[in-house]
Amino acid sequence: MKIDIVENVLQYNKDEADKNRKIFKKNNILVFNLLSSPGAGKTSLIIKTIEKIGKRKKIGVIEGDISSTHDSKKIKKYINDIVQINTGGTCHLNASMVAKAIGKLKLEELDIIFIENVGNLICPVGFDLGEDFKIVISSVTEGDDKPVKYPPIFIKSNLVVLNKIDMLAVSDFKSIFFYKKVKELNRSAKIIKLSCMNGKGLNEWIDWIIDKC
Amino acid sequence: MKIDIVENVLQYNKDEADKNRKIFKKNNILVFNLLSSPGAGKTSLIIKTIEKIGKRKKIGVIEGDISSTHDSKKIKKYINDIVQINTGGTCHLNASMVAKAIGKLKLEELDIIFIENVGNLICPVGFDLGEDFKIVISSVTEGDDKPVKYPPIFIKSNLVVLNKIDMLAVSDFKSIFFYKKVKELNRSAKIIKLSCMNGKGLNEWIDWIIDKC
């Protein structure tokens, strides 16, 4: 009985995600679902991306938080096409929340939407939002063991971004261990290492994004 | 109807937590529930604490993870009284899981139990485990905005530990902002800043723990 309920919830979410996907496709918008721990650098990466390609590509953002508009305000300095979702305590976005947010964006004008999920390395992974790509952002300062301790998000993501590589010199992060563990979970995932602080690696990230457009 | 179900779950958890609490009291054990984002330093803080007072106080650990025994293995080098809970995907510990773990510890020999919750700044906060104190560990490298973005965990915690202060010089973390936001949410919470890497501030942490014993 309990399993039935869970299945219904996930099936309902899947149906809503498929509706979102159709809307994105119809408007020719590429959608990235950004997943990470709190503070790994989702907002910073969005801002750096807008700075780099915001004139070439029209970018919209759907910003997920349990409460506050803290990150939205930061991004709002760069673009107008941003919608805040406050989940009111729920630990992940779902497709219905995103469906409501879509209605507030000028879809016909957009090329790309970044969905910044709630900062959480566990719960968001089970909920399809209708995105084209799931991207997990892990950061050097969180430690090299995140793939070992939180496998599902690394298994399900199309791209692994390793942020804060400017901190490699002052941490005990072992890149070889991290890469090995990611590859054990997800042989096809590409890994891009970068620093939103000093800009290293951002061009490879931008190339990856542009290549998908 | 939906609210009723949620209330039942939380009431059931509360009842189980009360049973745990009675067992801890009967055995004169002080219990700390450690909460944080992935990679903020829960395991490191436990190990540093064992190094500092492990001979004076008999410490046990209940280790929560969605999967893997990665952190348990690290702690096992220092103590034998450790039980791993793998939640199998669930994003927080609950009182029933802890009840099962308690049965595997030699309670009559222990003074302190650290429960290392699943790395998650949202979900664990609603689940009383029967602990005496909730401690949230936030780290400099996650950024100074965590209290703004994840208020409940800061509201419910008795102590806020700010870890990785060795990184202050190479980050844009504003301590005054962090302190102000914590205090707005939780006037009575003490804040201890420390570094498990270079040991600064650990004595204040140890004093706080010993003072509770």
Condensed to tens digits (0 to 9), the pLDDT of residues A186-204 reads 999 999 999 999 999 999 9
Tokens matching residue A28: 């020719």
Instruction: Using an 8 Å CB-CB cutoff, list chain A residues near B38.
Output: 37, 121, 142, 146, 149-150
Average pLDDT in the B171-177 region? 97
The residues spanned by each domain of chain A are 2-212
Read off the tokens for B204.
Answer: 């204040």
Does B149 lie at the interface with A, CB-CB under 8 angstroms?
yes
In the prediction, which pLDDT does B4 show?
60
Residue type for position A155: I
Q: Is the pLDDT of residue A136 over 70?
A: yes
pLDDT at A3: 57
The C-alpha of A195 sits at a distance from chain B's nearest C-alpha, in angstroms, of 13
Give percent of chain B with pLDDT exceeding 90: 95
Average pLDDT over residues A108-125: 97
Residue whose token pair is 């993870």? B65
Q: What percent of chain B has pLDDT over 70?
A: 97
List C-alpha distances in Å: A187 to A154, A160, A176, A190, B126.
10, 11, 15, 8, 36
Q: What tens digit of pLDDT does each residue of B14-37 get?
A: 999 999 999 999 999 999 999 999
B16 CB within 8 Å of a chain A CB: no
Report how many Cβ contacts below 8 Å link chain A to chain B.
104
- Rounded to two decimals, what is the model's pTM? 0.94
Pick from A39, A145, A148: CB nearest B141:
A39
- List CB contacts (< 8 A) between A122 and chain B: 66, 89, 91, 118, 120, 123
CATH code of B2-212, in short, is 3.40.50.300
Q: In whole angstroms, give the CA distance from residue B133 to residue B136.
A: 10
How far apart CA A69 and CA A169 sit, in angstroms, is 33
Q: Which two tokens stand for residue B92?
A: 């927080």
**Does residue A203 sit at the B interface (CB-CB below 8 Å)?**
no
